[in-house]
Structure 1
Amino acid sequence: MNRKTKILIVEDEMIIAANISLLLTNLGYEVTGILSKGEEALVHIEQNQPDILLLDITLKGNIDGIETAQIMQKTFDIPIIYLTANADEINFNRAKTTHPYAFISKPFKKLDLERAIELTINRVISENGQGTTATDKTDPFILSDSIFVRHLEKMVRVDIKDILYIEAERNYCRIYSKIKEYLLVMTLKDLDEKLPQKHFIRVHRSFIVNLSQIDEVATSHIVIAKKAIPVSKSLKEELLNRLQTI
């Protein structure tokens, strides 16, 4: 998935909504809109369907957030994260009938929202058939500045700037970052097609590298973090051209 995750914010307190929008944008998500009424949200969803709906239960219009979700779900299957300052049992039980992916009480911490969205993305990936076992094919979930990869039965975020290189191991790929290594159950060819091309280039049948991490370029290899990585003759010209343009 090469595009950003699209999130619609439906929140009647504009200061809170603006702060959420700034936070999500800084995390690499695309905010498709900030709306204060459920009726407006339903129209927006028809025209520009988001990947995730961040929905306050208390809204300014004639329908509240839960009613908005119920109407939306007749046509669309969009993951819902509820926000609410009124977390009483009646509203919580009403909200449960729409099967939300998360429920966040206001005021909330920035980390709570960030983790709720990451867990929602993880669940969507799992429900789309990308399982959690070592034998299942697990695609990375790619944002503008990071990728989510499965590690120890969960999806973890790896900043693109921290990735050094990726090495093929038969039908697996091993991502080497500044901090850890991550094993993906997919071929290097498939991963190459998904990674943002402005950051990465394939230099050998067994290696993809992060252009910004190259320390040295020699005749038949490059060096990244003291690791000598072979460069195929057929790919070296493209590598040199790319290095001249970044």
Structure 2
Amino acid sequence: MPTSFACVIVDDNEINRLTLEHMVELTPELNLAASLPGSLEALQYFRQGGKADLLLLDIEMPHLTGLELARLLPQPAPPVIMVTTHRDFAVDAFELQVVDYLVKPIDLPRFTQAVARVLNRQRTLPATSTPDAPTEAVNSELFIKVGTKMLRLNFDEVLFIEAMSTYSILVTGTQKHIVYLTLKALAERLPFAHFVRAHRSYIVNTQRIDAVEDNMLQLGKYEVPVGKSYQDEFYRHLRGL
């Protein structure tokens, strides 16, 4: 377990970089590995073997945006905290798995909160995991775009996801969230192995199944059918749990 975590800053605005550098300096757990003026420099840094335990990444930059850079990072990519002037910046958070968003101007308490979230996640990674051995994400939280806002959602609380025309509904025990992605798109992007397609219209959280009877799944107060064409693979997955 490292006592110090390497941090890389990428921002084309020098004042913003200096601000973040000062906040990193004030954070005992962090050390500044690199402070870079753009995405192209950052991409070169990582492709040449540069390392980071945390990436502080501006969104709006010339040549290559922060969102585009995040998709191009060599794997396994470091945890990313996005830095932006837009609270409702449209980002495909399922692909990026961004840990947090900092809205400029940044204050130290909010910065400290975001960094703590990253460090807690890093500390819970299995001790046996290595950079060359991909593991399922330990952190069950992801940002999703719901309407005009980015919502942090704990997917441990999601019972199932239902297809509804060209969008999907994420159902928890107490709420429903409309996400403007098709069920197919969600199935391809969810990083959690326990979310399994049970029907052409449903993805279920197998960890929240209370009972199975006559190809019907009981998840809290809801019942979800297991489609005939999905039964063999779905039950094979359940038996492997």
Give the TM-score taking structure 2 as reference length. Answer: 0.54
Equivalent runs, 1:224-243 vs 2, <5 Å: 224-243=219-238
CA contact (8 A) 1:166 1:175 kept: yes
Aligned match for 2:45, one of 43, 47, 54: 47
Aligned match for 2:143, one of 142, 148, 152: 148
User: Structure 2: where are the runs of 5+ without partners?
Assistant: 1-6, 10-19, 68-81, 85-101, 118-136
Equivalent runs, 1:17-166 vs 2, <5 Å: 18=29, 34-35=31-32, 38=35, 45-48=43-46, 54=56, 76-78=64-66, 81=83, 102-106=104-108, 110-111=112-113, 144-166=139-161
What's the counterpart of residue 169 of structure 1? 164
Q: In angstroms, what is the RMSD of aligned CA positions? A: 4.0
- Output the CA distance in 1 between the equivalents of 2:172 and 2:148: 19
What's the counterpart of residue 174 of structure 2? 179
- Output the CA distance in 1 between the equivalents of 2:83 and 2:181: 31
CA contact (8 A) 1:145 1:160 kept: yes
Residues 17 and 241 of structure 1: is their aligned pair in 2 closer, same or farther, counting only changes over 3 Å?
Answer: farther
CA contact (8 A) 1:11 1:36 kept: no
CA contact (8 A) 1:104 1:113 kept: no
- Output the CA distance in 2 between the equivalents of 1:196 and 1:74: 30
Give the structure with higher Rg (CA).
1
- Output the CA distance in 2 between the equivalents of 1:211 and 1:176: 14
Residues 17 and 152 of structure 1: is their aligned pair in 2 closer, same or farther, counting only changes over 3 Å?
Answer: farther
- Output the CA distance in 2 between the equivalents of 1:38 and 1:109: 17
- Output the CA distance in 1 between the equivalents of 2:36 and 2:189: 36
Residues 53 and 75 of structure 1: is their aligned pair in 2 closer, same or farther, counting only changes over 3 Å?
Answer: farther
Residues 108 and 215 of structure 1: is their aligned pair in 2 closer, same or farther, counting only changes over 3 Å?
Answer: closer
Q: CA deviation at 1:146?
A: 2.2
Comparing 187-196 with 156-165, which one deviates more in the overlay? 187-196
- Output the CA distance in 1 between the equivalents of 2:37 and 2:145: 36
Q: CA deviation at 1:230?
A: 0.8
CA contact (8 A) 1:171 1:187 kept: yes
Q: CA deviation at 1:227?
A: 1.4
Residues 149 and 43 of structure 1: is their aligned pair in 2 closer, same or farther, counting only changes over 3 Å?
Answer: closer
- Output the CA distance in 1 between the equivalents of 2:211 and 2:44: 51
Q: CA deviation at 1:106?
A: 3.5
- Output the CA distance in 1 between the equivalents of 2:144 and 2:41: 34
What's the counterpart of residue 210 of structure 1? 205
- Post-superposition Cα deviations, 1:28-71, rounded to whole Å, max 9, x if no partner, equal xxxxxx42554799976523279x9538xxxxxxxxxxxxx9xx
Question: Which secondary structure does the structure 1 equivalent of 2:106 belong to?
Answer: strand
- Percentage of pairs with the same residue: 27
- Output the CA distance in 1 between the equivalents of 2:208 and 2:224: 12
Q: Which amino acid aligns with 1:48?
A: F
Residues 109 and 213 of structure 1: is their aligned pair in 2 closer, same or farther, counting only changes over 3 Å?
Answer: same
User: Structure 1: where are the runs of 5+ without partners?
Assistant: 1-6, 20-33, 56-68, 83-99, 116-141
Q: Which amino acid aligns with 2:190?
A: L
Question: Which secondary structure does the structure 2 equivalent of 1:16 belong to?
Answer: coil
Q: CA deviation at 1:75?
A: 6.1
CA contact (8 A) 2:195 2:206 kept: yes
Comparing 223-232 with 177-186, which one deviates more in the overlay? 177-186
Q: CA deviation at 1:224?
A: 0.5
